[in-house]
Structure 1
Amino acid sequence: MPSKVLVLHGYRECAYYTYRKIAPIIDACQNQVEFYFLDAPMLLMPENTLKSAPTCSTPTMHPTRSNARRAWFIINETGRDSLPGIEGSWSFLQDVLKQHTFDAILGFSQGAAMAEQIAAMLERPYLFPMFCENGIAPHPPLKFIACVSGFLIRGPQLSWESSYSGSKALMGAVEFGFVKNTPTLCVVGRNDIVVPLERSHMFARHSLHKRVEEHHGGHFIPMQTKWRQFFISFFLNPFAEIPSPSPPPMATTSAADDDEIVTPLPVRAEPYQLGQALPSVDGVQEELEEEQHQPSMFAVIYDFYSDSDSDSDSHISPPDTPFLRTPQLPVLELDEPTIVGSEMMPKYDSIDGVAGHFAGTVLAKSKL
């Protein structure tokens, strides 16, 4: 019987766009893995004010063609620690999970944040009455989740500000910041300016059982040949020893693969090891059953980072306001497939903003 994976798209995207984006993975996993797509309930304006947009409100393997821009929630531009609209997404996903059963969730950006949160809520339903009525989860715990460019939306570090103490968000309480057991694949972009590395590291630390992989690019799902093969192998057998597609910590253009251009990075201490296989789901389930009898145990050591602005262009999935227009870092993924016939806006508008940013940084350092 094929495994079933629910796919949650990113901010200002839709089910159809993600379906086309990962089409090579879907085709390679036919008859063994079924990918089901959903549209987020929030329709963003003003792109779709003139006509109604098609909606995939129930899980489908073949979403309707659409260029609608949708969101699972909005991060407040002024406080940046509240999540308008997330209650509606909880209610929507709660109904979906009551009616359908999935083995796993694949999410990108906002979709990855929602996948991580759902996995945590299904593990400890007694903590989340807003999603689990009377302490009863709407769905069994997931076997695993796969998160690309994910960020945390629960616990004290929900806030993107330098101080978390004033968080107004419903999910910002300390008890929501536990380390979850659900096996998690975390895919991180080393040049992601939307979800900075500090936020990616924080996201990974909230998973006890994880596999972390990194790519040289920014805020997107890597789809070069080696990454496509990795994702295919992973979804066919997520707990297998699969060769890592991640580059070494220190990379230069001379050491790069032929199908990508990279940016040199300094060697830095990672809070995790790359390429470690996920543990077997049976062992994780035993640990989860033991923890359910100890609801007072929370085990996250918080490190606090300086504030990082989350810039976006018109195409990527920012966890922050959509009105910031600084383009993505100019790191090219040459083998990344394009979407033929799509009316989606281009990923890179210009590099003028990035060049100006770098020039300002050099000038500031020269004055020190």
Structure 2
Amino acid sequence: MAANSTKKVLMLHGYAQSATILSKRMGALRKSCGKDIDLVFIDAPHVLTPADLAEAFGSSSESSSLDQLGAQEAATDSDPALLPRGWWQVDAARTKTIGLEDSILQIRDLLLKDRYDGIFGFSQGAAMAALMSALLEKPEVFPPFLVDGKPPHPPFTFCIAAAGFRPVSPLCDAIFLPSYSTQTLHILGRTDVIVVEERSKTLLDVSANKRVEWHDGGHFVPSKANWRNFLKAYLKDPLGDVPSPSPGAVSQPASGTATPVTPSL
């Protein structure tokens, strides 16, 4: 794609969010990018029920689960655009990704229709973004992904994974292992208690061509001016030498500020 053309980036929301919610949260970045970068937000195919949300956190409260996920706008009984969605569910043993194949095929159909420079995901969407990047490198490991025996799209130039992790299942292992090589920017929060450092490391370990940037916050995509400027510059030139948004020393999270949870995302 020519250097002066608009870059198109596929945007994947987190668990219990929706395309509308993520687009709203990233409104400042969208405005900053202007016409140079087309951020295309899509919905996951699986609508989550209150029971799904409660089970994910072992909580009987739907609102409590949504609060923990940073998806307070989500609603299960009002605006369809705010319905909480997921790219997959997991079984009790957390060794199966239920519904993942449907999400892969939905994205396959989108990739058939257009060309995207990169993919950007948050939380479960970040895991999905990395998974799709890896799958485009070796599409033969999941034959239903092929169209007339060929991949639906060339490998992405880049992937951005904010609060990402590596999902565990036989299919995910086949796609990710031993590693994938798409250039990936990993954005991690030092006080994230949803995707803690140990869990985020599972994705870093299989990312052969990675850049890691930390912010001092929790489970969200950072949106302060320094981060907006960094992400805009990175999206425009992911292969260039883009300065870090957090130069110099960064603070460590205070111990005991929150109790880590391990949701079934």
Instruction: Please report the TM-score for the alignment, with normalisation by the length of structure 1.
Output: 0.59
Cα-to-partner distance string for 1:96-116 (whole Å, 9 max, x where unaligned): 111121111110011111111
Letter in 1 for 2:117: D
- SS of structure 2 residue aligned to 1:223: coil
Q: Take 2:261 and 2:243, find their aligned partners in 1: how far apart are those partners?
A: 32
Name which of 37, 40, 44 aligns with 2:44: 40
Change (3 A) 1:243 1:17: same
Letter in 2 for 1:90: I
Cα-to-partner distance string for 1:263-300 (whole Å, 9 max, x where unaligned): 347xxxxxxxxxxxxxxxxxxxxxxxxxxxxxxxxxxx
Is structure 2 residue 111 aligned with structure 1 residue 97?
Answer: yes
Structure 1 residue 135: deviation in Å? 4.9
Structure 1 residue 235: deviation in Å? 1.2
Name which of 75, 79, 87 aligns with 1:72: 87
Name the residue aligned to 2:21: 17
Structure 1: stretches of 5+ with no match in the other structure: 54-65, 159-168, 253-262, 266-307, 312-317, 322-368
Name the residue aligned to 1:299: none
Letter in 2 for 1:70: R
Q: Take 1:83 and 1:102, find their aligned partners in 2: how far apart are those partners?
A: 26
Change (3 A) 1:69 1:212: same
Change (3 A) 1:48 1:232: closer
Q: Take 1:234 and 1:49, find their aligned partners in 2: how far apart are those partners?
A: 35
Is structure 2 residue 136 aligned with structure 1 residue 132?
Answer: no
Change (3 A) 1:94 1:174: closer
Letter in 2 for 1:239: L
Is structure 2 residue 255 aligned with structure 1 residue 241?
Answer: no
Aligned residue pairs total 235
Q: Take 1:18 and 1:175, find their aligned partners in 2: how far apart are those partners?
A: 26
Q: Equivalent residues in 2 for 1:138-287 (5 A)?
A: 138-153=152-167, 158=168, 169-171=169-171, 173=173, 176-246=176-246, 251=251, 263-264=253-254
Tell me if the contact between 1:186 and 1:212 (Cα under 8 Å) persists in the aligned partners.
yes
- SS of structure 1 residue aligned to 2:144: coil
Letter in 2 for 1:123: E
Structure 2: stretches of 5+ with no match in the other structure: 51-73
Say what the alpha-carbon RMSD is for the aligned residues.
2.4
Change (3 A) 1:173 1:113: closer
Name the residue aligned to 2:69: none
> Looking at both structures, which has the greater relative contact order when contacts are Cα pairs under 8 Å and sequence separation is at least 6?
2
Tell me if the contact between 1:181 and 1:209 (Cα under 8 Å) persists in the aligned partners.
yes
Change (3 A) 1:97 1:87: same
Name the structure with the higher helix share: 2
Tell me if the contact between 2:108 and 2:152 (Cα under 8 Å) persists in the aligned partners.
yes
Change (3 A) 1:239 1:141: same
Letter in 2 for 1:146: I
Structure 1 residue 28: deviation in Å? 1.5
Name the residue aligned to 1:284: none
Tell me if the contact between 1:190 and 1:214 (Cα under 8 Å) persists in the aligned partners.
yes
Name the structure with the higher strand share: 2
Letter in 2 for 1:228: R
Structure 1 residue 208: deviation in Å? 1.7
Cα-to-partner distance string for 1:221-275 (whole Å, 9 max, x where unaligned): 11122112211211122222222123656626xxxxxxxxxx347xxxxxxxxxx
Letter in 2 for 1:110: Q
Instruction: Please report the TM-score for the alignment, with normalisation by the length of structure 2.
Output: 0.80
- SS of structure 1 residue aligned to 2:238: coil
- SS of structure 1 residue aligned to 2:21: helix
Change (3 A) 1:175 1:34: closer
